[in-house]
Chains A and B, each alone.
Chain A
Amino acid sequence: MDFGLNDDQRDIQGTARGLVAERASAERVREHAESGTTDTALWKELGEIGWPGIAIAEEHGGQGLGMVELAILCEELGRAIAPVPFLPTVAAAAIIEQGGSDEQRARWLPDLAAGRAIGAVADDTGFVVGGADADVIVIVERGGEEAAVLATAGATVEPIDAIDPTRPAARVTGGTPEALPGDVAAGVDRALVAIAAELIGVCSGSVEMTVAYVKERKQFGTPVGAFQAVAHKCAQMLLDTERARALVSQAAWCADAAPERLHEAAAMAKAAASDAGREVTASAIQAHGGIGFTWEADVHWRYKRAQIDAVLLGGAGAHRARVAKLAAAQARAAVTA
């Protein structure tokens, strides 16, 4: 049993962390968040180096790597709250790859893999994260069992002033959605893992940012991080992050190596990561005190991203409802065995 990354994966992680830190600095994120725009230069660069296609099969123009590699990139981009439509694009691609017909795959995957097309995913509420820029939207229905693909070219796209403006949202209506005939659920599970991995990045970055702050900020003549009430809150942030991370690692590995276990693993990962995302980013604001409530402090972008991701393709409660059914079936088997 080995939870470690292999050398290639470690390289991907190191490269990604370096590149994201350089290109998606707090200043850049704020600039795009305030103007409600995507960083098109960064998105173009990511497309050129093949990031959006990292987990898409080579025959469809991707790099043919796995969910573990994709999760690494999602986490690193999430850590910085990078203002690019990476997550919506890879989530849409995963569902099209697993659930699409040959024709649908050929139509969309090569462009999504290269970042020439932007994707998005949505449930049937019409609220589409990243929808304002998307070329193609995957609409997920019936709790993830069915989905349709919609080219925005023929649809009505009305921008929405969503709380996380780094991925301009939109209400999308009309057009002609085409049903995906394949294994939609397998694609949705992979999309859930990608979202959960981004949330781990958001959490992890929040822990780092908060720890740095409470070491610096002094009251009563001492760094506030030396007070147990503050220190224990930071410890709780780490626990929430790490327990969700363990579940996300497992789910990513299942997608690549044990797909029969992915369905439950993805639901647990998304449930834990959604809760962790909210709790950890809320604690980050609290631990920053008054400054944490200000627009300038940059903590709120994390909270806002976490809120969006926590709901995307179903909140924690929806996924726990799935888990309860699966766990009850296993318990029945274990108790009667």
Chain B
Amino acid sequence: MDLTFSDAELAFRDELRTWLAEHPPPPRPTEGGDDADFAWRRDWQRTLSDAGWAAPHWPAEFGGRGATLTQSAIYFEELGRARVPLPANVLGLLLGGPTLMVWGTPEQKERYLPPILTAEEIWCQGFSEPGAGSDLASLQTKAVKDGDEWVVTGQKVWTSAAQWSKWCMLVTRTDGDVAKHKGLTYFLMDMEQPGVTVRPLKQITGEAEFNELFLEEVRIPDANVVGGVGNGWKVALTTLMNERAGLGFALQVRLRQYLDDLLAAADERGLLENAAYADKLAELHTRCESIRLLAWKGLTDVEKYGQPGPEGSLVKWLWSDTNQQATQLAADIVGPQALTYGNDWSYELLRARGNTIEGGTTEILKNIVAERVLGLPRLKAAA
């Protein structure tokens, strides 16, 4: 047991920390809406990419640094700590790239990986559908072979960054006559073509992080199948397994900062003298610390022993729940500000509701823990 970083890990962290301090992004644009905001993050990714910091977890042959899991987690912790934005093409860097590295052909890797790194081509993820959320394998978007092309019709939802994307990781049904997990195929779809319609999905915060994606007889060349026809479920799982890997560390640090801000706000108002507030703040602080430890334990157990523990399923559940509790307490502590649009307190109060839904609902996570970690019988309601 050793809860410290190695010298090599500390050197990696210090190099990044120094670089971030010396190359801060310009201030976030206050005008121009979502487009300006995205352009700002795109520029930021170019800055990262030029210095070799866009995707340290990628192998060196693809422009990364071949960072270990631990270094990659340090990378996201440091981005969070420096309060800089995540790179614009986060889905390409975290999900699309690593999926192609596992399943892509040499030609696909050569064609698609470099522009992911530089944010020249943005990626989005076409998995969920109106009728296929937690039960992803029941998706209905259909792809039919036509010569050396596929013709795709259907609807996707929760597609973040679709309006700026060049490529979509698209999972479709190519065979309706086999078991639902077996008839799926994973494609790279060009978003800039007729038949692709992107409609922003306004969420409870008032903004539109996500979109609906309507596909009407969209054509995809056969060369854009990833991992083989009928193998889409396995390829999609590779994508999903990468979903929580690094990002969790950035979110965990963000929660830490939020709590620091909240503790400071409580302190300013003299509320730390109030035992009820002090108790709740200490509970959140303790939970936040256990999230950090569980995240590191989950990662290092895999790295050192090749054995994932139960932590993977527990961290997201605990983080989302804790984040929500923190925003509720913030509303009590900062008062009217948290109830008025236009500041972080009110934004988080609303945005946090999505945390227990996106990336696996808490209910599904509990099912996974019950069935796969505790070995309980297959659940009735999930049959």
Contact = CB atoms under 8 A, between A and B. Distances in A.
Given A272-B286, A328-B263, A335-B261, A3 B297 contact: yes
Contact of A228 (B286, B287, B380): B380
A1 B3 contact: yes
Nearest to B300: A1
Given A231-B370, A234-B374, A321 B3 contact: no
B204 interface: no
Contacts of A222: 377, 380
Given A271-B286, A323-B285, A4 B376 contact: no
B293 A249 contact: yes
A68 interface: yes
Interface residues of A, number: 53
Contacts of B318: 239, 243
Interface centre among B1, B3, B380 (most CB of A within 10 A): B1
Given A214-B376, A323-B285, A238 B310 contact: yes
B278 A228 contact: no
Nearest to B4: A1
A324 B310 contact: no
A291 to B, nearest CB: 18
Interface in A287-337: 317, 320-325, 327-328, 330-332, 334-335
Given A235-B370, A239-B317, A321 B282 contact: yes
Contacts of A325: 272, 278
A250 B289 CA distance: 10
Contacts of B378: 226
> Helix, strand, loop or mixed for chain A's interface?
helix
A324 B264 contact: no
A331 B367 contact: no
A28 interface: no
A259 B9 CA distance: 22
B282 A2 contact: no
Interface string A235-252: 110110011101101100
Interface in B42-75: 70
Interface of B: 1-5, 9, 70, 257, 259-261, 263-264, 266-267, 272, 275, 278-279, 281-283, 285-287, 289-291, 293-294, 296-297, 300-301, 304-305, 310-311, 314, 317-318, 363, 365-367, 369-371, 373-382
Query: Top 4 closest A-B pairs, CB basis?
Result: A331-B263, A231-B370, A320-B282, A246-B293
